[in-house]
Amino acid sequence: MRAYRFDSFESLEALRLREEPDPRPQRGEVLVRVHAASLNFRDLAILRGRYPRKAVPGHIPLSDAAGEVVAVGEGVRAFKPGDRVIGAFHPRWFGGEMPSTIQVDSYGAENDGWLCELKALSQEAVVRLPDALSWEEGSTLPCAGLTAWSALAGPTPIRAGHTVLVQGSGGVSIFALQLARALGATVIATTSSEAKADQLRALGAAHVVNYAQDPEWGRSVRALTGGRGVDRVVEVGGPGTIGQSLRAVAVGGEIASIGFLSTENPGIDFFQLKMSGASFRNITVGDRAALSDLVRAVAATGLKPIVDRVFPFEEARDAFAHLESGAHLGKVVVRCAS
């Protein structure tokens, strides 16, 4: 099979395509022909040395993919050749408390990921792909889709009548917009692009605030809710946006902390945090049970993931460069097999 590996994290030139032996499924494993793999900001963070956890060069990158089961190992009962599946972002977090091995198990950082033509893995680490989704659409669910789902769920799930704030137009934010609208919530979005603002409105955002033109966008968001604030902030910016998120969130609302797109760190005002009356919940994608819930919700609602661009397998480096440019809206995908 063909597979990409990062020989180092010095530059995109270190991502090299090579021929490797085909894997074989062992007991309890399935062999998946990878049809599409999607990129996340995490993949860039690993490459650029910004990932906050351990990452070792030499592994196959990317954590998310969709493919077809082509063989099964001894004892496999859940799947058969021909089944369409997606991989779970956390291959050993099935439900309940997060396992202590969560980091060691992670694809692309300390284990081989999905930017390859064939992958053997446990039958417990995949779930069925909804029939209505293409390979490319399905490959976007394991991280971005599930992260957005987890951000909207939790102790106080978002429901009709709530207001949700999403930041920007990346994969998680677009999924959060789509899912929140499917749940009957009102969505406010932020962006720095007027062209993207129109696209966000077309996807269902009731209001769009341009944060480049309005540095105090948190106050503007609160004003759009009649001074109450939003029930949920899907916080992807991190240290550079948390201050404005605290201004936007309602008393008793929640900030679901996901990413760190911004490296600017002005610090958090403790009294602002305290007086906001909001809760702060850290999101680590989600477990296999939640992924199954998301898949059922996508199938039931007919939700279609937004794929910005699909790159051929031979142009995987260009896919990374396109994601890093920030020109995308939604997900960037590599087609690994036809």
Q: 209 versus 101: which is more confidently predicted?
A: 209
Query: What is the C-alpha to C-alpha distance for residues 272 and 215, in angstroms, rounded to an integer?
Result: 17
Q: Decide if pLDDT at 264 tops 70.
A: no
Cα maximum dimension of the chain = 61
Q: Model's pTM, two decimal places?
A: 0.94
So what's the pLDDT on residue 133?
A: 98
Pairing status of strand 29-38 against strand 118-122: antiparallel
Tell me, rounded to whole angstroms, the distance of Cα 176 from its chain centroid.
Answer: 10
What are the Cα distances from residue 24, in Å, to 30, 31, 74?
9, 7, 11
Rounded mean pLDDT of 136-161? 97
Tell me if residue 268 falls in helix, strand or coil: coil
Q: What are phi and psi of 35, to 5 degrees?
A: -95, -35
Structural domains in the chain, sorted by start: 2-140+305-335 (3.90.180.10), 146-282 (3.40.50.720)
Of the candidates 178, 164, 139, the residue with the CA atom closest to the CA atom of residue 311:
139
The type of residue at 109 is: A
Rounded to an integer, the average pLDDT of 212-233 is: 97
pLDDT digits (tens, 9 = 90+) for 58-116: 999 999 999 999 999 999 999 999 999 999 999 999 999 999 989 889 999 999 999 99
Q: What is the dihedral of CA 91, 95, 100, 106, to 10 degrees?
A: 20
Cβ burial of 1 (10 Å; 0-12, 13-18, 19+) is: middle
Token readout for 157 is 């799930």
Q: What is the mean pLDDT of residues 273-298?
A: 91
Please tell me the distance from the alpha carbon of residue 66 to that of residue 135, in angstroms, as a whole number. 6
| Of 258, 3, 287, 302, the residue nearest 127 (C-alpha) | 287
Task: Tell me the average pLDDT of the chain.
Answer: 94
CA distance 328 to 261: 14
Distances, alpha carbon 334 to alpha carbons 69, 93, 316, 319, in Å: 19, 26, 6, 7
Q: Contact at 8 Å (CB) between 330 and 306?
A: yes
